[in-house]
Amino acid sequence: MSERRTSLIGALLTMIGPISMSIYTPAMPQLADAFDTSDSAIKLSLSLYFAGFALAQLLSGPCSDAFGRKKATLAFLAVYLSGSLVAAFAPSVELLLAGRLVQGIGASVGVTVSRAIVRDQFAGSEASRILNTIGIMLAIGPAVGPTLGGLALTAFGWQAVFLLMIGFGLSSIVVVHFAMRETAVADPRMISPSRLFGGYVTLLSDVRVVCPALILGGCVGALYAQATMLPFVLIDEVGLTPAQFGLAMLMQTGGYFAGSVTLRFVASKLRPGNALRLGLVLAGLGGLMIFLSARLIEPSFLSIMGPVAICSFGMAFVIPDITTAGLSPHPAIAGFAAALLGFVQMSCGFLGGLAAAWLAEPLQAFGTIIPIMEVMAILAYLFMVRAASA
pLDDT digits 0-9 by tens, 234-260? 888 888 887 788 778 778 878 888 888
pLDDT exceeding 90 applies to what percent of the chain?
Answer: 27
Cα–Cα dist 262/256, whole Å: 10
Looking at residue 139, its pLDDT comes to 59
Residue 94 CA to residue 204 CA, distance in Å, equals 35
Tell me if 147 is assigned to some domain.
Answer: yes
Q: Quick check: is 158 in a domain?
A: yes
* Of 190 and 198, the one with more pLDDT: 198
Average pLDDT over residues 2-15: 86
pLDDT at 144 over 70: no
Q: Is residue 232 part of a domain?
A: yes
Q: Is 186 a domain residue?
A: no
Per the domain annotation, does 247 fall within a domain?
Answer: yes
pLDDT of 390 over the 70 cut = no
Residue 162 belongs to what domain range? Answer: 3-179+195-389
Question: Which of 24-28, 258-262, 373-377 has the highest average model confidence (pLDDT)?
Answer: 373-377
188 within some domain: no
pLDDT of the residue at 142: 59
In a domain, 275, yes or no: yes
- Does position 265 have pLDDT exceeding 80, yes or no? yes
Domain count within the chain: 1
CATH number at residue 214: 1.20.1250.20
Q: Stretch 315-325: mean pLDDT, rounded?
A: 87
Whether 309 shows a pLDDT value over 90: the answer reads yes
Q: Residue 274 falls within a domain, yes or no?
A: yes
Using pLDDT thresholds of 50, 70 and 90, give the confidence band for residue 326. Answer: confident
Phi-psi region of 130 (alpha: psi -120 to 50; beta: other; left: phi over 0): alpha
Q: What is the pLDDT of residue 106?
A: 93
**Spatial CA neighbour of 28 closest among 106, 101, 100:** 100
